[in-house]
Structures are given as C-alpha cells and as structure tokens.
Chain A
C-alpha cells in the first residue's frame, strides 16, 4: 500500500512522466494545431486531405495510423468541417475519393519524410477559391525505432471497443449462409441455409429457438461437392417475402416465395443472387456463379432485372475475376463497390461501374463480406488458426480498424444483424489444434456500442 501511495504522489508531482506523449503523437498534434490555428477565425470551411505521400521507412499501415491520429484531432472543430476521403493507402501513397473535391474549400497535402534520425511531416494548405497555396508547415521529431515498430504493428483499435464476438452457437455441418429478416410481428428471424434445408430461428435471450424449416429440393444437374458453399438472399417482393438460394452444387438458384403459410418455388435462376440492387430506378438481382462442384466463383458478375419472383428475365453479365469470395457494398440500395478475393488470395475492389482499383500485393483469406457501405470483414491468409479483419469502407475504399482472433478456420463471413446490432456472422470449423476438431460454430461479431 505504501508503494502505491508513493507512486500516486510521484505521478501527481510529475504528470508528464506518468503519461508521456509519444513523438509520433506530438508530431501529429503539432500538425493539427497548425491547421486549427489557420482556421481559427473562419466559419464552416470545408476541408479534406487529398494527397498523402510517404517517403519514410514506415509502412502503409503506419501511415493509416498517422492519418487517423490527424483526422481524429481535426474532426469536430467548430471553425471548419473536416471530410475523410481516404480510400486506401498502398505503395506509399494515399488513395482518395475525389468525387467530392468540388465541394471543398481547402485541400490539404501531406508528406511524411525521413531525414537521418528524424522524421518530419510536411503540410501544405491549398485554397480552392483563391487557387493558391495558403500555408506551408514542416514539423520534425525524433521517432525511435521502438515507436516506428509500434506504428507498423497491425493493430488499429481495441476490439473491446469495436467489433467483438457477441454470441456463438454450435451448428451442424455444411452451414453455408445466415440471413435475417423481420417476422410478421416485427421480431427478427434468422435463416440458416444448409444444402437440403433452411432452418428458421428466433432469438430467445442468448439462444436460438427453431421456428420452422423449409426443405430444399434440388434437381439434376446436381454436382456433388467436397465442401458445400452457397448464398441466401431474403427480400420482400410484391408484398411477400421472397428468398433465393444457390450454391456450388447446382447450376441454378431457387427462388421461393412465402405464401399460404408455406414456401413455394417460383423460378430458377442461372446464377447465385447476392443482393437486390437498384440501377436507374429499377431493381436487379446481382450475383455470381460458382464453377460447378468447386470452391470458387467464375469470372463474371451477373445482373438480372427483377420485378416478379415468378419471372426470369434476361441476364446481363460483366467480366470480373475468378474469386473465392465476393460481396457487394451498397448505399441505399445502390451498388457502391464489389469486393472480391481472387484465386491467388489477392483482394480486388471494383467500383460501382466494375472498374478495378489497384489490387493489393498482400494476401488475404478466402472469405469476406460487406455490411452496407460501412464495413468490410475479411479472413486471414493462414492455416488452422484464423483472424478476422474489419475495414472501414465508408469512403469507398478500405481502412483497417479492428481485428479479432477466430478459433479454427473461417468457412464463410456474412453481413447480418444480431439483436438489433449490425455486424457479421462468421462460421468457422475448429481445427485439430482445438480439442473439438470437426465441430462447426457460428459467431456474430458486432460493435457493442451501436
């Protein structure tokens, strides 16, 4: 007790020793102070960083952190409005969504420079209305090797405050997808998609209670597989609940509608629908097609105008990449981007018009999912022990924010909702490292504070 009292006294007397600011943080703080000082007497100026280059030995990950530290200090200032346009930071350069640049008053250029033992941050402020440079500042600090290593570490935020595992259930094998929809009484119903049936559950506290099941009858051509994979889509059409279910074992997906208290097959579609999206005011089913019997999608994205669950319209296809995983990020029903992991485990981001942004060199795992236009979850390129990485995709790109360890190996990730919290369903099969080898579990990862 005496020791603690002494330490507290010591900390009160010397607060700077107790909570020293890192030099990286001091560098960013000084840069933020400079920007805030510039806008001190202005009102509602619209500002964004539009260029960020790295000439130091620090990694792209470290630059993402520097960027976050800086924007966190600039957001919320009453004298100007800070826009976050960063899409990604790759190969020493930031990629920005410049479609909104016309709406800005001031543009910020950043450059990270290494000068012998010191590291500096250059800031250039450009006025779009004056068409001139209005401020230039260079700040230099001595970043130790340890601090540099810390910046390069792959952690961005504490999982406890961000995405964390909210629940976990043991499941029978061959689960392919989980989706949810509000029932007639407004309570969420969870649809667990297996090759031969869809089991519908409701949450009772922290457990799931089976409500009903919809048997799926497939017909030939049927392609037996070693590992079942598939996608389930739920939506309302013509006032009734409709679902589409497809997989790697059939060349068509079933369309079923719920009427007269039972599910009835109304049509067959020649691809696996992922989302119902709006293009030019018209709804389209959008999806991909598995290479039959195998574990990957073919190199095309399919679009089919959708008006009636019983009608199959002409399908339009667009070239993409053969992929282990695909998902579509959306904003208010409109396509924002296509996220995919190719057969070489490289992540690709395609824009809404399917133009490709620069692919990444780093390898990822074989599963991903996008939640609206906010979050992207991706598995790790690893064997036996897996991880899940959560990326902020609000600006159209991907910025790593959280990560979490997963027991076993991820089989699929699917965006969803668990008890009003948005997040991701993560299905994993336990590896031989675990005692319960062969068991499959489904977890839900979400942000507790949302």
Chain B
C-alpha cells in the first residue's frame, strides 16, 4: 500500500460521519520560545510555531501536491502571463476583521520586501500586483508556469494590518514567559475550524509533550517518528574583514572541540550544504589545543549567537568557562541580526540555516551566498550567482556541479563563513493523536488532528 493511500485512509477515519470526529482537547508541543509574534521562520522551531498562527498562501504536501485554504480558485494564464488568485468569500482574521484580497496583496508585498532568497527569486519574476474585487492579480515579466509552486514557501503567509490578528488555525491566547504559550483555535480559520481547541507550546522540560523534535531514531514508546526532511546547518561567520586568519581558525578549532567535548552531539559538517550532496569537501586544518589557547588568550572575543541556537547556550557557556578563555557569548534575536550588521563591533557570529533536504543544492548554495555573506556581498558573488542561473538551464549536471564547487571554494577562501555542524530532526507525535500531516517543509499540520476516541 502506498503512502498516499495510507494517508487517505487515515484521513477517512477522521472524517467519517457515522462516528463523528471529536471537537475538543489540547495538544502539547515542545518548541523554542519566540521573542515576538512577528513572522519569523528562520529556524525549524519557528517554522512550526508560526505555521500555527499564520496561514500560508499555499501548502506543498510531501508528494508535491499543492493545496490552499485561502483561495477558492487560482489559475495561471500563460498568454497574459498573469496569476489570478480568487479569495474565498467572507474570510476573517482571528479577531473577526475581514480578510480580503487587499490583505493578500499587502502580504505578498511584505514578503517580496524581505531579505529572503525565495523573495528575491520572486522579485525577479513579478512585474505588478493589483487587486480587482476578490481577485489578486499577479502580472509576471516572463512566462513562468511554476509560479504557484514558488508561492508555497513557508515565509509567504497571510498577514493582517494589526499585529493582534492572525490568519492561522490558532491564535495566541496566553503567554507565560519561559514556561508555555497557549494557542486557541481560530474560529474563523480559512481551512475550517480545527478539531483541537488549543495547542500548548511548551518551552521547558517539565513534562513530556505530545509532539516534539529530537534526533532521528530516538526510540520513544507510544510515539510515532516522522522524518521531517529538515536539517539545520550551523556556521561560524566573520562579519568584518579585519579578523586575522589565525583567530578565525583558532575559534573554529575551539568550536569543533566543543562538539567533541559534548560527545559529538552534532554531526560534523564538511560542506556548505550537506556532505551527501556537495561536490566539494571542505577541509579546514585545525590548530593544536595549545596553539588555539595561545591565540585566543590575547583576543577579546564576543561571540554573537542567533537565538535560534539557544539550545547551545548551556553546554557552550560551561565549555568556554572551563577553557579559561576570555570569550563572551551574546544571544541575539534573528530579526535583530540585520540591525547589527553595520556595527563594526560585531565580528564573530554563530548562525544557522534551515534546509529541506529535497531542495536542489544550487538553491541552497545560492541562499548561503545571498543570505550569509551579509555586508561582504559583492559584484563577484553577483556574477557567480548569474553564472549559476545560466548553468542551471544548460541541463548539464557536470557544469552545475563545477559551478557549485567554484562558489563553495570562493566562499571558503574569502573566509567569512566556516561550516561547523549539522543537526537532523525527526518529529515525534504521541500515538493517541491521529491525522496529523507533515508537509513538504517538515511542518506538522494540526488542522485535522484529533484525539483517537477508540
């Protein structure tokens, strides 16, 4: 029996009428605590959290099928090179305020204005966005039949003008900082009221939640494991050009040592994307412990770490304390990162990038180059990206791999980003809960989740 048929049967079980699906109950999920409710999908935890309160334009299922809850019709006309999105009637945000075509237009514009790889790709294609009644009309510069697939990215969500209105299946109701966040079912959710009454997002380890992320093959009784298809790469970045090569290697060596000391909790990463698919392997020769210590002893280092890596905090702080080095760690919110870029005080940053394993390697390398070179992005990189685009359409795998290797080499030689570790995720869901789907981006979708009443 194929997976699709199995899923259909599982869904059928929850949609039967002779015994109706039960409305009620609360599911608990362990995630990282957000800093605000401003849409931010920079890491896997946020990707899940924000999918609960913000509705995407489109969803891509694991088998590549595209669905939408917001539009009653969408069609691309190659002749006029327009995509017409017709919004469903009478939709509302969680506050009850109308959700109309102008909100779709505004959300799309916010997305296009964001410094994201997916947005820059769309920006190159879209000529104009206008609203006519219930329709949002997107005019393209060239014929692009795959435009709808490009609109399935998790960052493209329906936003309200007011921050207190949410478009997702749930909306924030109660936030006990450091402990939990209660999300209540949105009665106006475009996809149809969820069977669940609430989702409890837990930030502490007080109790075992119904849903959590963990390393693959962590055998848990009464839980089903789902391959999320997501991995998180952790990189060491140097934002200023005046950092010496020895300091870079010493800091890199220290962080590698940290992983070794914590029992290789994280997978060593020797490429910019993943070791399985990359045409080049990056070998950065580390220093001996003595040399590392002698270099870093004289340096006054503040290592900035993105909040999405907050799970490193406890172990890393303890490790640095034991090393007797004068290295201070400072966690910054992902959304604040851009504001720090112009500050010359920020030299060393630990960043992460979330990748879906199915995304082509050329897209991943482009994202790294565009999103992680920060203020060091230059004409050379722009030219390299242009060449990458060209070889993409040449249908030559060899040429493509060659170009990816060339970009990887240039990035490493320029010395602003060193790959460190990779963290793989599996999603664990308690067996009592049925009909939870996992989408293409590895997010659990709770729209049809309900507690097994049998």
By a beta-carbon cutoff of 8 Å, the part of chain A in contact with chain B is 218-227, 291-296, 324, 343, 345, 365-367, 379-384, 386, 409-412, 429, 431-432, 437
- How far, in angstroms, from A383 to B13 measured CA to CA in the complex? 8
CA of A318 to CA of B80 in the docked complex: distance in angstroms?
Answer: 59
**Would you call B17 and A367 a contact (CB within 8 A)?**
yes
Q: In the complex, what distance in Å separates the CA atom of A224 from the CA atom of B8? A: 22
In the assembled complex, B23 has its CB within 8 A of some CB on chain A:
yes
Interface string of B208-222 (1 = CB under 8 A from A): 000000000000000
A-B contact pairs, 20 of them (CB 8 A): A220-B90, A222-B188, A223-B188, A226-B21, A226-B193, A226-B448, A227-B15, A227-B192, A293-B192, A294-B23, A365-B19, A366-B19, A381-B19, A382-B18, A382-B19, A383-B19, A384-B18, A410-B17, A411-B17, A431-B16
B189 contacts A by Cβ under 8 Å: yes
Q: How far is it, in angstroms, between the C-alpha of A429 and the C-alpha of B15 when the chains are bound?
A: 10
Judging by beta carbons under 8 Å apart, are B187 and A380 in contact? Answer: no
On chain A, the residues within 8 Å of B23 by CB distance are: 291, 294-296
B153 at the interface (CB under 8 A from A): no
- Report how far A429 CA is from B16 CA in the complex, Å: 8
B241 lies within 8 A of chain A by Cβ: no
Give every chain A residue within 8 A of B91 (Cβ-Cβ): 222, 224
List residues of chain A with CB within 8 A of the CB of B98: 220
| Size of interface on B: residues with Cβ below 8 Å to A | 31
* Inter-subunit contact A218/B90 (CB<8 Å): yes
Contact assessment for B193 and A383 in the assembled complex, using a CB-CB cutoff below 8 Å: no
Which chain A residues border B69 with CB–CB below 8 Å?
224
Q: Closest CB-CB distance, B417 to chain A, in whole Å?
A: 45
Q: A424 → chain B, closest Cβ, in Å?
A: 15
CB within 8 Å for A219 and B90 given contacts A224-B192, A226-B193, A294-B193 = yes
Residues of A within 8 A of B16 (CB): 383-384, 409, 431
For residue B454, which residue of chain A has the nearest CB? Answer: A383
Question: A223's contact among B13, B19, B193, B195, by CB below 8 Å, is which?
Answer: B193
Say whether B89 contacts A218, CB under 8 Å.
yes
Q: Is the CB of B18 within 8 A of A379?
A: yes
Q: Does B96 belong to the interface (CB within 8 Å)? A: yes
A176 to chain B, nearest CB (A): 12
Is the Cβ of B17 less than 8 Å from the Cβ of A429? yes
| Chain B residues, CB < 8 A from A412 | 17
**B96/A431 in contact, CB under 8 A:** no
Closest to A224 in B: B192
Docked complex Cα distance between A380 and B193 (Å):
26
- CB-contacts of B109-128 with A (<8 A): none
Contacts A293-B187, A432-B8; is A227 near B17 (CB within 8 Å)? yes
CB distance from B9 to the nearest CB of A (A): 5
Chain B residues in 8 Å Cβ range of A383: 13, 16, 18-19
User: With the chains together, A410 CA to B20 CA distance in Å?
Assistant: 10
Chain A CB within 8 A of B102 CB: no
Instruction: Please tell me if B408 contacts chain A, counting CB pairs below 8 Å.
Output: no
Does B17 contact A366, Cβ atoms closer than 8 Å? Answer: yes
- Interface of A (DSSP majority class): loop
A218-B89, A432-B8, A432-B12 given as contacts; is B191 within 8 A of A224 (CB)?
Answer: yes
- Tell whether, in the assembled complex, residue A345 and residue B190 are in contact, meaning their CB atoms are under 8 Å apart: no
Q: Is residue B88 within 8 Å, beta carbon to beta carbon, of the partner chain?
A: yes
A-contact bits for B180-194, CB 8 A (1 contact / 0 none): 000000011111110
Best-surrounded residue of A223, A224, A379 (most CB of chain B within 10 A): A224
The answer on a CB contact under 8 Å between B18 and A410 is yes
B88 touches A224 (CB 8 A): yes
Interface flags, B90-107, vs A, CB<8A=1, else 0:
111000101000000000
Q: Which residue of B lies closest to A412 (CB)?
A: B17
B 61-74 binary contact with A (CB < 8 Å = 1; else 0): 00000000100000
Do A366 and B20 touch across chains, with their CB atoms under 8 A apart?
yes
**Cβ-closest 6 pairs across A and B:** A293-B193, A222-B90, A226-B192, A411-B17, A409-B18, A294-B23
Q: Which residues of A contact B195 (CB under 8 A)?
A: 226
Instruction: Tell me which of A292, A324, A365, A381 contacts B187 (CB under 8 A).
Output: A292
Give the CA-CA distance A324 to B190 in the complex, in Å. 23
Q: Which residues of A contact B12 (CB under 8 A)?
A: 384, 431-432, 437
Interface residues of B in 2-61 (CB under 8 A from A): 8-9, 12-13, 15-23
On whether the beta carbons of B92 and A324 are closer than 8 Å, the reply is no
- Of residues A226, A382, A432, which shows the largest number of chain B Cβ atoms within 10 Å of its Cβ? A226
The answer to whether B9 touches A432, judged by C-beta atoms less than 8 angstroms apart, is yes
In the docked arrangement, what's the CA distance between A409 and B89, Å?
Answer: 29
Residue of A nearest to B13 (CB): A383
Q: Specify which chain A residues have a CB less than 8 angstroms from the CB of B21 in the assembled complex.
A: 226, 295
Known pairs A292-B193, A296-B23; list 4 more (Cβ under 8 Å): A223-B193, A224-B189, A379-B17, A411-B17
What residue in chain B is nearest A363 (Cβ atoms)?
B19
Q: Give the nearest-CB partner of A366 in chain B.
A: B20
A296 to B187, CA, bound (A): 15
Measured in the bound complex, the distance between the Cα atoms of B435 and A158 in whole Å is: 40
Within 325-360 of B, Cβ neighbours of A (below 8 Å) are at none
Q: Which of B168-202 contact A (CB under 8 A)?
A: 187-193, 195
- B92 and A221 contacting across the interface, CB-CB below 8 Å: yes
Chain B's nearest CB lies how many Å from the CB of A259? Answer: 26
Q: A409 to B13: give the CA distance in the assembly, Å.
A: 11
Q: How far is the CA of A373 from the CA of B381 in the complex (A)?
A: 82
Q: Is the CB of B17 within 8 A of A224?
A: no
In Å, the complex CA distance between A256 and B20 comes to 31
Distance in angstroms between the alpha carbons of A415 and B12 in the assembled complex = 27
**Known contacts A226-B192, A292-B187, A437-B8, A220 near B19 by CB under 8 Å:** no
Determine the distance from Cα of A218 to Cα of B193 in the docked complex, in whole angstroms: 17
CB closest chain-A residue, reference B190? A224
B residues near A227, Cβ cutoff 8 Å: 15, 17, 192
What is the CB-to-nearest-CB distance from B97 to chain A, in angstroms, rounded to a whole number?
9
Whether the Cβ atoms of B18 and A386 lie closer than 8 Å is yes
Give CA–CA (A294, B21) in the complex, Å: 10
